[in-house]
Amino acid sequence: MSEPTAPSVPPTPPVPLSALLAREDLGLRQIAGPPAPDTVIHWAHTSEMADPYPYLLGGELLLTAGVHVPEAAGAGAYFEDYVSRIVAAGGAALGFGLAPVHDTVPRALVAACEAYGLPLLEVPPRTTFSGVARAVWQLMAQARLAELRRVTEAQQSLAAAASRPDPVPSVLRQLAQRLSAHALLYAPDGTAIASAGRAPAPGTREALRKLAAVVRPDTGSKDTPREAPASAADSLGDTQLAAYALGGSGGFVLGVATRRREPADHTIASVAAVLLSLLTGEHQSGAGAARSSALVRLLLGAAPAEVAGLLGSGERWLVVHARPENGTPDPVGAAALGAALGSPLIDLGRDVVRVLVPGGREPAAQPGWTLGVGAPAEPGGWPSADAQAARALARARATRAPLVRHGARPGLSELVPRADAEEHARALLAPLAAGPALIETLRTWLSLHGSWDRTAVALDVHRNTVRQRITRCAALLDTDLDDPDVRMELWFALRHH
């Protein structure tokens, strides 16, 4: 079996070893190694292998009853080899269970753990390894819940700050308070234009300024512009530094300095960066006023083609429908999605976010989202593109694809005049005219090759409902839907319906 190249840990809050030792129901006792407050564990693993290295990922509390220990290992090098392999694999601590194999923890094992700096716990006979593992997961769940609660409260307070009369300073103050940090906002020329929070340690401002330059887009060369990362992190002594490029804001950067980096800090700072991106973007470009003007003109009766120029460059546009993979969309997530797709034209619905994207930008799949993209359309064709995007999103969800584009490739349908095709579709589908749900179910079912389950997912109904509707369609059309010729003719008709 191959050995791991480097220890890794899961994206879950670690558990302080001291919290596990504080559980009176376990009765654990540390008998070697550094103090417990300095050690964290990410999971518990039981193994009786003489060499546990290949089976460790890093960050474990390794539990063993010493079954693997040879009888002659008392004063030999066995335990030094054993402990050194645990440390090399990134193991966080070792728990040794008393009884039924050993009445006491071997002295040579205690000495080896002390020498290699590996915390060693004595597990009493009454405590099972499964009980220790369960306690670890309980503590992790509590830490995760506390982390989620902290992020949620921070999101709410940052959103409230963004709605104040002085939104940018308010967001910075709230971010600094939530992270016990020093927060700075840099202008595109690198000047610090706003700050909040505790006074930074000497040298912190200069280090943050240099880190901000790493994520700021390089606009000096038009031929070969530098690809800048969205964020960067560094440290200065015991101070943790982070910089976030504010997307779509022309080079504004958020800098954050904290004394220690908690698991949720990056998420909270990212939320602040999204809000500041929106605020600085509006201030920088004045695009908000143009969009407001376009909305007013539409409300007063102007045609979409007359106001499209106010929304940005490009004669053709793409309509994108997006749905988060987990939960429902929220304003912060919708704004972040729009920034990633390169458009501030966002409509936040109950289940779906719609984004109007200039045709020159090609939408890409976004982590955590499922996307459907309509065909490029001029303003007069936006309603049709909107319907195309909705169908593409339904197909993407049904097929579990991150992004599906509406296909507009020329095909056999162009051999038939459009008017004749539409008349044929009306005649063929006339028996279903009174049931729009039947037509939509038939369309989706055919597009997904007759899959009951995927059609149910796409339409957000029960699979039995799909079966009932398809059976009803077959009866009303008086045809065999298992016949491929029938399916082909119906699909042709549905495309022109």
- pLDDT for 162 beyond 70: yes
User: For the chain, what is the mean pLDDT?
Assistant: 83
Residue 7: pLDDT band (50, 70, 90) is very low
pLDDT for residue 408: 45
Alpha carbon distance, N-terminus to C-terminus of the chain:
60
Residue 419 burial (C-beta neighbours within 10 Å; 0-12, 13-18, 19+): exposed
pLDDT for residue 299: 66
Residue 6: pLDDT band (50, 70, 90) is very low
Ordered alpha helix ranges (H), 236-318 = 265-285, 287-299, 304-311
Nearest to 318 by CA among 354, 284, 348, 359: 359
Each residue of 420-473: pLDDT tens digit?
A: 778 888 888 899 988 889 999 999 999 888 899 999 988 889 999 999 999 999
Question: CA dist 221 to 84, 96, 249, Å?
Answer: 52, 62, 19
- pLDDT for 320 beyond 90: yes
- pLDDT for 406 beyond 90: no
- pLDDT for 3 beyond 70: no
Each residue of 294-317: pLDDT tens digit?
A: 666 666 777 777 777 666 655 688
pLDDT for residue 335: 73
Mean pLDDT of the 140-148 span: 86
Each residue of 8-31: pLDDT tens digit?
A: 444 567 889 999 999 999 999 999
Residue predicted with more confidence, 453 or 398: 453
Q: What is the side-by-side strand order in the sheet with 60-64?
A: 29-32, 120-123, 93-97, 60-64, 43-46
Residue 5: pLDDT band (50, 70, 90) is very low
> CA torsion, points 67, 70, 73, 74, in degrees to nearest 10?
60
SS3 of residue 349 by DSSP: coil
pLDDT for residue 89: 94
Tell me how far apart the alpha carbons of residues 119 and 134 are, in angstroms, rounded to a whole number: 20
Instruction: Determine phi and psi for 399, rounding to 5 degrees.
Output: -95, 0
Q: In the structure encoding, which two tokens stand for residue 397, read together?
A: 């969800």
pLDDT for residue 50: 92
Please name every residue paired with 354 in a beta bridge, in sequence order, or none if there are none. 321, 347
pLDDT for residue 29: 96
Residue appearing with tokens 């044929």: 424
Each residue of 334-380: pLDDT tens digit?
A: 777 777 787 778 888 888 999 988 877 788 888 888 999 998 888 88
Each residue of 190-226: pLDDT tens digit?
A: 888 888 998 888 888 899 999 988 888 765 444 444 5
Q: What is the largest CA-CA distance in the chain?
A: 94
